[in-house]
Structure 1
Amino acid sequence: MRKEGVKIVTIGGGSSYTPELVEGFIKRYAELPVRELWLTDIPEGKEKLEIVGNLARRMVKKAGVPMEIHLTLERKEALPGADFVTTQMRVGRLEARIKDERIPLSHGIIGQETNGAGGLFKGLRTIPVLLAIAEEMQQLCPDAWLINFTNPAGMVTEALLRYGKHLKVLGICNVPITTRMTIASMLGVEADRLHIDFAGLNHLVYGLRVTVDGEEVTGQVLELLADPEKQLSMRNIAPMPWEPTFLKALGVIPCPYHRYYYKTEQILAEELKQFAAGTTRAEVVKKLEDDLFALYQDEQLETKPDILAKRGGAYYSDAACSLISSLYNDKHDIHTLNIRNNGTIEGIPDESAVEVNCIVTKEGPKPIPVGALPEAVNGLVQQIKSFERVAAEAAVTGSYDKALLAMTINPLVPSDSIAKTVLDEMLAAHQEFLPQFGKHLQEMMG
């Protein structure tokens, strides 16, 4: 790291989440001296970038820390000399997310931005862009860590690890830290006394074992989670209670996203109601974003507004900023990350991405070996990993056949005929952001 402080580049800097990140860096300035924070975005995001950037400058000024905020629409201007690069983008913006949710629902299947058909298309749009960023980083800041927060983080990290030209790549998500904080609150203990052995895939991670002060409390936590009044959920997922007998038999802690696989019928019914009312999560978020940016423009605003919590990024800055600080300060503490498997979980290819606990050092995270996953959860993890691998290949090659295969083997898509119908409609709807499928789209359009 450079003696004069840390340089961080945030790609997708015009995101409504950026004030979370800025707050996290301000809070940690004594241990993580971020002297330059570069926020970069695409030309279409220029207005939001300027609004967020001005708020960031007011936040830094109020905090009295010597952090320079730079704004640019040119990644190559921002990247040289970076120590860390964070990515938090949405290719196609919220309009694309609305299509990812509404098109599958119009055919009677789940529409969600990281799971099923919607997750596939977010990955197809996003992976080529992130691979281009990784290539630029290898040229302009080869020693920098690429820390990806962009969804679908598992599939994206899979592609970066298998096809990317930059080696220092990590994926991060707020689900594990949200899970830990929620369970600590349920148990009435401080979060730093509670430990969870996480293992699985992004948005498909399980808590294999929970301890407080070293004493196992997994069974007690499963009993708590079976209580309809004590739900572990996220802003974008309906807090549907688990069947107590099922949880006890499962024997491990599911994450909120497991509802898509274990409660498919109920989730779909709820989503179809929202679809009919024009209140899918994407449409709700678009309205919330409008409200947030109206607030961000207030020149009197000098701190992150409380309403941002409704956006769904709880503990985002804690997850991202703590990881960067641990890498910078060689802390040897534990973070749950998306990282190259290398034998950490048995039965998953070494080069694939898994989400597991890691000991974070200045040389990089060291995954904590897991061994074989419990039989009850291994099958679903393997199925989603095969989906991620085929989807990543489709994104890189532009293969229609691979895209159809990925869509069909996803457990949230019930048949190959529905898969093909939805695939064709979504390819046409998103063609502006899918240049790799250009030849097939030309043939399809006649």
Structure 2
Amino acid sequence: MKIAVVGGGSTYTPELIDGFARLRDTLPVGELVLIDPAAERLDVIGGLARRIFRRAGHDAAVTTTADLDAGIEGADAVLLQLRVGGQAARLQDETWPLECGCVGQETTGAGGLAKALRTVPVVLDIAERVRRTNPGAWIIDFTNPVGIVTRALLQAGHKAIGLCNAAIHMQRKAAGLLGVPPEEVHLDHYGLNHLTWELGVRLGGPDGKDVLPRLLAEHGAALAEFLQMPLNLLERLGAVPSSYLRYYYRHDEVVGELGSKPSRAAEVAAIERELLEMYRDPSLDTKPDLLSRRGGAFYSEAAVALAASLLGTGSAEGRSADVQVVNVRNSGTLPFLPDDAVVEVPAAVSRAGAEPLPAPPVRPLMAGLIAHVTAYEDLALDAALHGGRDRVFDALLAHPLVGQYREAEALTDRLLAHNREHLAWL
């Protein structure tokens, strides 16, 4: 089995390699190709990957290349984890929105729109080359903003599915609080990427007993601290929101917090520099503890499980479906959204793809915000595909974290000024 990772030079990649090495019985990788234009970083990451595999007794071949077409040829799955513009662009995404009194964040609000505009054309070009070179391969997108990027892929007819680590991170958190193995916890996780709520927490499977009331009653304070939200908000919701919802529920407070401390981008850039120095050590053959501060917790477990199910090496070797939280076409799952919206929901995943599980009722308090952000994502994708200042402005005006004419005008000007080198239509 051959797996190709586009963006394989990321400091993130050893997390993924660690999962491939530990979970080789679930996903028997025979060849791993790391693809990245950054040759020096790629050499460093490739060397560490080989050492991690060797330490685990894994005999998979690890190759590195800057040649996308050569790297994806013959791959069973192509994982996308790229960052157009690198950490420098992320730093801009987190900075200029604050100048307008809006959240500066790389996947949400105006910064998230900038990332979508840079990313969608690049991802679609990669996907077209996968289709020409290796049309049978699954494309697994971990590149943010996952919902918009996955929708672009599906709208263009690609064999694609989106993945985020938010659900598996929450599953592990809930399991730890409840004192049960993670595989016993099933989440009723519904919404959009980075805009979800746990509407139920079930033990034993999708039809198991819902212990969400117990989780909130006994561990609400721990969850509130974890999510950086007030406990009484969780109690009023009767659900566990994604940590990204603090940008909506605590917008003005968060803007103040973000403006008073170094950006997350600056922090990550410093961590990356330190990680790369560690990765160069020829004696290092495990992922370092520092990597946990880089982000993407449990990404490897989620990615391995998804790839295994899609390629038929998961439960019962592909004869049955595995339930996993993924980003897929709505197709009536949330009845208040268009069928072609991309939602983040539990789905039965097999070689045939992902079939969303029936959703529980979603309260208007949540459904209204989901519908609002879906409308923004429609406009954001239109701007990413077709360009134009007016389309960028419309998307910003429609976003619930912007929503005002003066702010949308100012944000549009700043977005375009900071992204000229990445937007061909400019």
Asked if Structure 1 and Structure 2 have the same fold, meaning a TM-score greater than 0.5 normalized by the shorter chain, the answer is: yes
Q: Does 1:154 align with 2:147?
A: yes
Equivalent residue number for residue 11 of structure 1? 6
Residue among 137, 142, 149 paired with 2:135: 142
Equivalent residue number for residue 23 of structure 1? 18
Residue 247 of structure 1 and its aligned partner are, at CA, apart by 2.2
Equivalent residue number for residue 406 of structure 2? 417
Q: Does 1:50 align with 2:43?
A: yes
Equivalent residue number for residue 252 of structure 2? 265
| Contact kept in structure 1, 2:229 and 2:246, CA below 8 Å | no
Q: Does 1:369 align with 2:358?
A: yes
Please identify, of 286-295 and 341-350, the stretch whose mean Cα deviation from structure 2 is larger: 341-350
| Contact kept in structure 2, 1:232 and 1:255, CA below 8 Å | no
Q: Does 1:290 align with 2:279?
A: no
AA aligned to 1:294 is E
Q: Does 1:316 align with 2:299?
A: yes
Residue 190 of structure 1 and its aligned partner are, at CA, apart by 1.7
Residue 123 of structure 1 and its aligned partner are, at CA, apart by 0.4
Residue 107 of structure 1 and its aligned partner are, at CA, apart by 2.3
Q: Per-residue displacement from partner, 1:30-73 (whole Å, max 9, x unpaired)?
A: 2322111111112xx22111110111111122222221111111
Please identify, of 50-59 and 368-377, the stretch whose mean Cα deviation from structure 2 is larger: 368-377
Where structure 1 has 5 or more consecutive residues not aligned to the other structure, the ranges are 1-5, 234-238, 439-446
Q: Per-residue displacement from partner, 1:353-386 (whole Å, max 9, x unpaired)?
A: 1101011112112111216522220000001111
Residue 217 of structure 1 and its aligned partner are, at CA, apart by 1.3
Please identify, of 24-33 and 357-366, the stretch whose mean Cα deviation from structure 2 is larger: 24-33
Whole-angstrom distance in 1 between the partners of 2:300 and 2:202: 25
| Contact kept in structure 2, 1:12 and 1:89, CA below 8 Å | yes
Equivalent residue number for residue 441 of structure 1? none
Cα distance change, pair 232–137 in 1 and its aligned pair in 2 (3 A): farther
Residue among 212, 216, 236 paired with 2:210: 216
Equivalent residue number for residue 343 of structure 2? 354
Residue 389 of structure 1 and its aligned partner are, at CA, apart by 1.1
Name the SS for the 2:239 alignment partner.
coil
| Contact kept in structure 2, 1:145 and 1:169, CA below 8 Å | yes
Residue among 167, 171, 186 paired with 1:195: 186
| Contact kept in structure 2, 1:226 and 1:241, CA below 8 Å | no
AA aligned to 1:264 is H
| Contact kept in structure 2, 1:11 and 1:89, CA below 8 Å | yes
Residue 240 of structure 1 and its aligned partner are, at CA, apart by 2.2
Equivalent residue number for residue 285 of structure 2? 302
Residue 317 of structure 1 and its aligned partner are, at CA, apart by 0.3
Cα distance change, pair 232–176 in 1 and its aligned pair in 2 (3 A): farther
Whole-angstrom distance in 2 between the partners of 1:392 and 1:89: 18
Identity of aligned residues (%): 40
Q: Per-residue displacement from partner, 1:104-133 (whole Å, max 9, x unpaired)?
A: 112221100000000000000000001111
Q: Does 1:281 align with 2:264?
A: yes
Equivalent residue number for residue 85 of structure 1? 78
Whole-angstrom distance in 2 between the partners of 1:433 and 1:11: 18
Equivalent residue number for residue 121 of structure 1? 114
Name the SS for the 1:34 alignment partner.
coil
Name the SS for the 1:435 alignment partner.
coil
Residue 165 of structure 1 and its aligned partner are, at CA, apart by 4.1
Whole-angstrom distance in 2 between the partners of 1:62 and 1:185: 29
Q: Does 1:180 align with 2:203?
A: no
TM-score of the aligned structures, taking structure 2 as reference length: 0.95
Q: Does 1:384 align with 2:373?
A: yes
AA aligned to 2:391 is K
Runs of 4+ in 1 over 6 A off after TM superposition: none
Residue among 242, 247, 266 paired with 2:230: 242
AA aligned to 2:284 is L
AA aligned to 2:258 is E
Equivalent residue number for residue 432 of structure 1? 421
| Contact kept in structure 2, 1:209 and 1:216, CA below 8 Å | yes
Residue among 309, 315, 321 paired with 1:326: 309
AA aligned to 1:241 is M
Q: Per-residue displacement from partner, 1:83-115 (whole Å, max 9, x unpaired)?
A: 000000100000000000011112221100000
Residue 230 of structure 1 and its aligned partner are, at CA, apart by 4.0
Whole-angstrom distance in 1 between the partners of 2:130 and 2:330: 23
Equivalent residue number for residue 252 of structure 1? 239
| Contact kept in structure 2, 1:197 and 1:357, CA below 8 Å | yes
Name the SS for the 2:25 alignment partner.
coil
Whole-angstrom distance in 1 between the partners of 2:26 and 2:12: 22
Whole-angstrom distance in 2 between the partners of 1:378 and 1:271: 28
Whole-angstrom distance in 1 between the partners of 2:389 and 2:342: 23
| Contact kept in structure 1, 2:7 and 2:81, CA below 8 Å | yes
| Contact kept in structure 2, 1:131 and 1:165, CA below 8 Å | no
Q: Per-residue displacement from partner, 1:237-275 (whole Å, max 9, x unpaired)?
A: xx523241x32332222111111111112211110111x
Name the SS for the 2:15 alignment partner.
helix
AA aligned to 2:190 is A
Whole-angstrom distance in 2 between the partners of 1:220 and 1:267: 29
| Contact kept in structure 2, 1:158 and 1:389, CA below 8 Å | no
Q: How does 1:156-171 map to 2 (within 5 A)?
A: 156-162=149-155, 164-166=156-158, 168-171=159-162
Where structure 2 has 5 or more consecutive residues not aligned to the other structure, the ranges are none
RMSD: 1.4
Q: Does 1:338 align with 2:309?
A: no
Residue 82 of structure 1 and its aligned partner are, at CA, apart by 1.0
Whole-angstrom distance in 1 between the partners of 2:157 and 2:408: 32
Q: Per-residue displacement from partner, 1:186-233 (whole Å, max 9, x unpaired)?
A: 122222222211111001111111122422212122234541x44464
TM-score of the aligned structures, taking structure 1 as reference length: 0.91
Cα distance change, pair 360–326 in 1 and its aligned pair in 2 (3 A): same
Residue 295 of structure 1 and its aligned partner are, at CA, apart by 0.4
